[in-house]
Amino acid sequence: MFETIMYETRAGVAWITLNRPEKLNAFTSVMHKEMLSALKMAGKDEEVRAVVITGAGRAFCSGQDLGGSENPDYGEVLRQGYNPMVQALVSIEKPVIAAVNGVAAGAGMSLALACDFRVASDKASFIEAFIHVGLVPDSGNLYFLPRLVGHAKAMELAVLGEKVTAEQAKEFGLVTKVVSDATFVQEVETFAVRLANMPTKAIGLIKRYMNKSWESDLTEVLEYEALAQKTAGGTVDHKEGVTAFMEKRKPVFTGK
């Protein structure tokens, strides 16, 4: 179905694998289009309750394909390719995990930053590679990086462009957890399935309003919480959670 990515679903999880391993999964315009389609599919599919994005081969993603410019207007490359993908990642009301199997460089690092969780292999690394080719961080990087690691660390990473190991990234809060490369896929699967079995609508609401909170004052956030809680309070999963608690059993959430 796709040329540059793979898409499969199992156990409530959509797996999107960037699939240009010979170029360390560098982005092309086709890949942008395919990523957008895959994210839309995952968003619409009611069976899908978590999304994993990972890379084929030894890399997660090396950012923009530098081997021959498809469009010399980089602003348009961002507006047409990267930005809709980042918006889709943020607006999909399901948890999205970047399973960072290897190097994440340039816009590949931005892709990981725009996800809700980053699970990294102990072989993974992160590089703000933009500066090495005289460019600036893009694809939401300037938005997410300082929010995740603080302004000072973000400046250091973006300007120096030094390679950061998964363990170092964990220390300053960039990754959720680091797991052994030997058990990476199983660990990601366990984490993704765990999320897929949680109250999906509540997770979607947390994501929506936590993102909005960055541009909101306290009064607005208090109102968002009231709106979200009204919606969450009407879900089947809320009812199940309370019933299970009263019956002293584990809840079985259906994402409804």
For ligand T3D, the binding residues in 44-83 under the rule CB under 6 A are 62-67, 74, 77
Identify which of residues 106 and 255 has a Cβ nearer to ligand T3D in the complex: 106
Identify which of residues 67 and 217 has a Cβ nearer to ligand T3D in the complex: 67
Decide: is 26 part of the binding site for ligand T3D (CB under 6 A). Answer: yes
Nearest approach in angstroms of CB 186 to ligand T3D is 25
Decide: is 143 part of the binding site for ligand T3D (CB under 6 A). Answer: no
Identify which of residues 68 and 215 has a Cβ nearer to ligand T3D in the complex: 68
Other Cβ atoms less than 10 A from the Cβ of 227: the count is: 12
- Give 225's strand partners: none
Q: Are 120 and 179 in contact (CB under 8 A)?
A: yes
Decide: is 145 part of the binding site for ligand T3D (CB under 6 A). Answer: no
Question: Encoding tokens for residue 191?
Answer: 């984490």
Nearest approach in angstroms of CB 201 to ligand T3D is 34
* Long-range pairs, 201-208, Cβ under 8 A, ≥24: 201/93, 201/231, 201/232, 201/235, 201/237, 201/255, 201/256, 202/232, 202/235, 202/237, 202/238, 203/93, 203/94, 203/95, 204/93, 204/94, 205/93, 205/231, 205/232, 207/90, 207/93, 207/95, 207/116, 208/93
Q: Which of 90, 129, 169, 196 binds ligand T3D (CB under 6 A)?
A: 129
DSSP 3-state of 50: strand
For ligand T3D, the binding residues in 108-127 under the rule CB under 6 A are 127
- Helical (H) or strand (E) element with 192: helix 184-196
**What is the x/- site pattern for ligand T3D, positions 78-107, by CB under 6 A?**
-------------------------x-xxx
How many residues sit close enough to ligand T3D to count as binding (CB under 6 A)? 22
Binding site for ligand T3D (CB under 6 A): 23-24, 26, 62-67, 74, 77, 103, 105-107, 127, 129-130, 132-133, 135, 138
